């Protein structure tokens, strides 16, 4: 594959469904996958496409508050793992986030109390891209430990100027 270009894209639920099927070790629950595909119909979507325009990576994004961006889901076609596609999407999202005043990236993934080796790789992926484990919670129930990871995007001057109006309640 030539130079990778990650960019904001239109909604691609069918492409997401296809990519999820390539990685059953991570996305093996039909009901959860159906919910992700529904989410892909409405959530902000970033992709990498190959030379022919086929989607090979998808990231869905939530913006709960103006100062934080949440990586709701990231997946790369199994045939293209390890070629920089996931990194390219995170880099593009981070650059856009910084430009719009976001100071914190967030992602939730299966926590280290679960011995699943596939998710151990996923956590290493996030860690090597600058995400720090913040807290393991039972947000997803007792059987699925949820690790919240964050990546601070230090603003110029090292100081957060303001938080969004939706957050400020004083
Ligand atoms: C995690 C994922 C999005 C990374 O995308 P990618 O394009 O394969 O990653 P990149 O090529 O940019 O980076 C490769 C790095 O990710 C790590 N990695 C994690 N899972 C990997 C996998 N299945 N295949 C290859 N590399 C993987 C590698 O160790 C490598 O780290 P390094 O560069 O520090 O050595 C992708 O592998 C994937 O879709 N995994 C399955 C789904 C998943 O885990 N989603 C997140 C759920 S919370």
Q: Cα(30)–Cα(35) distance, rounded to whole angstroms?
A: 9
Q: Distance, CA 85 to ligand 1 centroid (Å)?
A: 8
Q: Token pair 């939706």 is at which residue?
A: 166
Confidence (pLDDT) at 131: 98
Write the pLDDT tens digit of every residue in 21-51: 999 999 999 999 999 999 999 999 999 999 9
What pLDDT, on the 0 to 100 scale, is given for residue 158? Answer: 64
Q: Tell me the mean pLDDT in the region 75-87.
A: 97
- Output 155 or 13, whichever has higher pLDDT: 13
Can you give the pLDDT at residue 1?
62
The answer to whether the CB of 103 falls within 8 A of the CB of 155 is: yes
Domain that holds residue 105: 6-156
The Cα 61–Cα 71 span in angstroms is: 5
Residue 61 domain-assigned? yes
Give the domain CATH number at 131. 3.40.630.30
Question: Residue 128 CA: which ligand 1 atom is closest?
Answer: 34
Average pLDDT for 141-159: 87
What pLDDT shows up at residue 159? 65
Verify whether ligand 1 is closer than 6 Å to residue 145 (CB atom). Answer: no
Structure tokens at 14: 């069918």
């Amino acid at each position: 594959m030539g130079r990778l270009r990650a960019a904001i894209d239109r909604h691609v639920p069918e492409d997401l469904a296809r990519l999820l099927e390539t990685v059953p070790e991570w996305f093996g629950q039909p009901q959860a996958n159906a919910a992700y595909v529904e989410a892909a119909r409405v959530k902000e979507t970033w992709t990498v496409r190959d030379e022919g325009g086929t989607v090979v990576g998808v990231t869905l994004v939530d913006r709960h508050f103006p100062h934080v961006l949440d990586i709701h889901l990231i997946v790369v076609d199994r045939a293209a793992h390890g070629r920089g596609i996931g990194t390219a999407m995170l880099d593009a999202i981070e650059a856009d986030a910084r430009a719009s005043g976001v100071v914190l990236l967030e992602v939730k993934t299966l926590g280290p109390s679960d011995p699943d080796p596939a998710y151990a790789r996923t956590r290493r992926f996030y860690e090597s891209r600058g995400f720090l484990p913040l807290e393991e919670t039972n947000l997803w129930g007792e059987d699925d430990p949820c690790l919240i990871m964050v990546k601070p995007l230090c603003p110029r001057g090292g100081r957060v100027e303001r938080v969004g109006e939706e957050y400020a309640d004083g």
